[in-house]
Amino acid sequence: MIDLATTLLAACLATAGAQTLETVHAGAAASFGELSGLRAGALRSPQRPRAAIQPQSALLGLLRDADPAIRARAARSLRAYVSDFAVEGALLRTLADGAEDASVRREAARSLAPAGGRWNVQRALLDAARGVREPALKALCWKALYLAGQAGFSIRRALLDALDSGPAEERAAAAWALGASSADSQARTALIATAKDRGAPEPLRLEAARSLAGAVSLWDARDALVALAKDARSLETLRAEAALALVGALGDWSVQALLEELARRDASLAVRQAATRALGGWTLELALHFHLSQHGGRPLDPLALE
């Protein structure tokens, strides 16, 4: 301590100029006191940090924000925490709230989809799909049942019924959701029939063909897509969608040969482009286009683009 004080005193003397010796001593003492205070402060225990608010707690609070845009964003962000029962309950209440803005209810339905294996979530989404009037909300509720349809026959049966009858937008949403159940022969048969139905609306046929992409390793789905891609009398958009959906069957030499033939010689530029793209194999963009739940071993959110 004495050596340090002497050093400080010498430094002050070197720059003091016309200062008096008493002034210099006073300055050195003050500097030494500040240094001692710093040392003492460094030895004190740091203050205990305040407990951080869990993100889901903050989002649940924002679910009550005055601005519906913030409420909708909070509902969407809560998807990451839907395994938390408090979060699930809040999203279920939001979905069931007829006074809530439709955009907020849509995001609640979207975030509930990963919990579709739970009966209470299945029932809430199905009730909303059947009961709400707003078309975009109704369609998203049907789509959000994709995991529920995969998990249980009763929901799959409800999706098949919705595919069979009702407004075109609802039927297309049911076709979308059934893509996750395309390994089931009954679901696959219904999707194939819809894609081939020349009397069905174009968006519905396109959605049915798109939902067969995940089942292209199965002969009936593959044969249906091959037939649609080759049919020059069919809709150009449908032929292109079918050709693109064959991306998952490149291991079959006959499919590969067909895609090459279409890419080189088909009269439709859209079909040629789709076949060329399919020959490039699976990409993340294609996996999202066909609303798959995984790509390259990584989970995906099929509703990300909806």
CB 142: neighbour CB atoms within 10 A? 30
DSSP summary character for residue 299: E
Q: Using alpha carbons only, how large is the chain's radius of gyration in Å?
A: 32
Q: Compute φ and ψ for 294, nearest 5 degrees.
A: -160, 160
Report whether pLDDT(242) > 50.
yes
166 dihedral zone (left: phi>0; alpha: psi -120 to 50; beta):
left
Calpha distance 278→263 (Å, rounded): 10
Question: Could you give the angle at the alpha carbon of 200 between the alpha carbons of 102 and 256, nearest 5°?
Answer: 100
For 5-40, write each residue's pLDDT tens digit.
444 434 443 444 444 434 434 444 444 444 344 344
CA trace torsion 160, 221, 208, 142 (10° rounding): 40
Smallest CA-to-CA distance from 162 within 150, 173, 147 is with 173
In the prediction, which pLDDT does 26 show?
44
Confidence tier at 256 by pLDDT (50, 70, 90): very high
Calpha distance 304→285 (Å, rounded): 11
Which residues share a beta bridge with 294? 299
Calpha distance 306→299 (Å, rounded): 17
In the prediction, which pLDDT does 46 show?
53
Higher pLDDT, 150 or 50: 150
Calpha distance 98→128 (Å, rounded): 10
Which residue shows structure tokens 């046929």?
205
The overall average pLDDT reported for the chain is 88
CB 299: neighbour CB atoms within 10 A? 10
Q: What's the sign of the alpha-carbon dihedral 190, 185, 291, 75? A: positive
What is the pTM (predicted TM-score) of this model? 0.81
Fold for the domain defined by 56-148: Leucine-rich Repeat Variant (1.25.10)
281 dihedral zone (left: phi>0; alpha: psi -120 to 50; beta):
left
Report whether pLDDT(137) > 50.
yes
CB 179 within 8 A of CB 148: no
- The one-letter code for the residue type at 189 is T
Structure token pair of residue 93: 């209440």
Smallest CA-to-CA distance from 135 within 106, 177, 95, 157 is with 106
Q: Compute φ and ψ for 295, nearest 5 degrees.
A: -150, 125
DSSP summary character for residue 28: H
Smallest CA-to-CA distance from 170 within 114, 123, 132 is with 132
For 39-72, write each residue's pLDDT tens digit.
444 444 455 555 556 899 999 999 999 999 999 9
Smallest CA-to-CA distance from 245 within 232, 266, 262 is with 262
Q: Compute φ and ψ for 299, nearest 5 degrees.
A: -70, 145
